[in-house]
Chain A
Amino acid sequence: GNSVTQMEGPVTLSEEAFLTINCTYTATGYPSLFWYVQYPGEGLQLLLKATKADDKGSNKGFEATYRKETTSFHLEKGSVQVSDSAVYFCALSGGSGGYNKLIFGAGTRLAVHP
Chain B
Amino acid sequence: DSGVTQTPKHLITATGQRVTLRCSPRSGDLSVYWYQQSLDQGLQFLIQYYNGEERAKGNILERFSAQQFPDLHSELNLSSLELGDSALYFCASSVGTGGTYEQYFGPGTRLTVT
List A residues at the B interface (Cβ < 8 Å). 31-32, 34, 36, 42-46, 49, 51, 89, 92-95, 98-107
Contact = CB atoms under 8 A, between A and B. Distances in A.
B102 A101 contact: no
Contacts of A43: 2, 4, 90, 105-108
Interface of B: 2, 4, 31, 33, 35, 42-43, 45, 48, 55-56, 58, 90, 92, 94, 97-108
Contacts of A95: 99
Contacts of A36: 105
A100 B48 contact: yes
B100 A94 contact: yes
Given A89-B43, A101-B45, A107-B42, A34 B102 contact: yes
A19 B42 CA distance: 23
Contacts of A104: 42-43
The 9 closest A-B CB pairs, nearest first, are A94-B99, A101-B45, A104-B43, A93-B99, A44-B105, A43-B105, A43-B107, A32-B99, A51-B100
A102 B50 CA distance: 15
A101 B48 contact: yes
7 contacts: A31-B99, A32-B100, A43-B2, A43-B4, A45-B105, A46-B104, A102-B43
Given A94-B100, A101-B45, 4 more contacts: A43-B4, A44-B92, A100-B33, A100-B55
Nearest to A34: B102
A93 B55 CA distance: 14
Nearest to B44: A104
Which of B45, B104, B106 is packed against the most chain A CB atoms within 10 Å? B45
Contacts of B92: 44, 102
Given A34-B102, A43-B90, A100 B58 contact: no
Contacts of B103: 46, 93, 102
B104 A94 contact: no
Contacts of B55: 100
